[in-house]
């Protein structure tokens, strides 16, 4: 067993253990921290596969933005988790039914799963090199040529989802003065300025 195999098993075991702790930890902050740990180890697995671009995206996007955002939201929101757990028994039959269905599907998948005889040779083969192009460059060329339209559509869908989430969660608080563009544009000269004739030696 060489060093690469040992590192793979190390990353894989930590990833599985962190994923289990994400769903089993009682504190939601601890769950997010275990999620970050799982992301880092998954990035290490991508590096072992030679996909450094995916590893970088996993660390920058998911750890640097999504997981940290989850952590700040969980820490800033005053959520009463004891109240949320009160209705656990009410949804237990539905959750149990869904769990049984998933177990049956996993059993069917594992029961019909077989290893291709040539899989070992494919896994041990070197990644084909296309000149001096790295996999990041090749992925970019494919993404922005053959899959440009789905890529742009996915970006538009994410943009609409982000704007919709902001609009749905925006709450108007009383007593807070906000800028109203429509009210500013509707102002006339008479409303904007008022002339006062002030006598000499007197105030307004």
Q: Would you kindly state where each structural domain of the chain is located, as residue ranges?
A: 1-80
pLDDT value, residue 100: 92
In the Cβ-directed half-sphere of 9, how many Cα atoms lie within 13 Å?
A: 5
Asked if residue 27 has pLDDT above 90, the reply is no
Asked if residue 159 has pLDDT above 70, the reply is yes
Q: How far is CA 192 from the centre of its chain?
A: 47
**Architecture of the domain whose range is 1-80:** Up-down Bundle (1.20)
Task: Give the mean pLDDT of 141-166.
Answer: 88
Sign of CA dihedral 81, 84, 86, 88: negative
User: Which two tokens mark 84?
Assistant: 């949320």
pLDDT value, residue 19: 92
* pTM for this prediction: 0.54
Torsion of CA 144, 146, 46, 3, to 10 degrees: -120
* Residue 52, Cβ density class (10 Å: 0-12 exposed, 13-18 middle, ≥19 buried): middle
Mean pLDDT score of the chain: 79
Task: Give the mean pLDDT of 28-52.
Answer: 86
pLDDT value, residue 86: 65
Q: DSSP secondary-structure letter at 130?
A: B
pLDDT value, residue 122: 56
Q: Is 133 helix (H, G, I), strand (E, B) or coil?
A: strand
């Amino acid at each position: 067993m060489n060093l690469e195999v040992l590192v793979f098993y190390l990353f894989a075991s930590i990833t599985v253990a962190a994923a289990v702790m994400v769903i089993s930890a009682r504190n939601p902050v601890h769950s997010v921290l275990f999620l970050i740990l799982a992301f880092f180890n998954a990035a290490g697995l991508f590096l072992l596969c030679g996909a450094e671009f995916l590893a970088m995206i996993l660390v920058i996007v998911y750890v640097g933005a999504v997981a940290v955002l989850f952590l700040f939201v969980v820490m800033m929101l005053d959520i009463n988790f004891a109240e949320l757990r009160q209705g656990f028994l009410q949804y237990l039959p539905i959750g149990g039914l869904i769990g049984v269905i998933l177990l049956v599907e996993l059993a069917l998948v594992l029961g019909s799963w077989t290893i291709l005889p040539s899989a070992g040779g494919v896994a041990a083969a070197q990644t084909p090199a296309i000149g001096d192009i790295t996999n990041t460059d090749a992925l970019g060329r494919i993404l922005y040529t053959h899959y440009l339209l789905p890529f742009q559509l996915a970006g538009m869908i994410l943009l609409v989802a982000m704007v919709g989430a902001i609009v749905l969660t925006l709450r108007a608080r009383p007593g807070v003065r906000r800028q109203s563009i429509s009210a500013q544009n509707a102002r006339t000269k008479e409303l904007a300025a008022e002339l006062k004739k002030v006598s000499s030696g007197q105030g307004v």
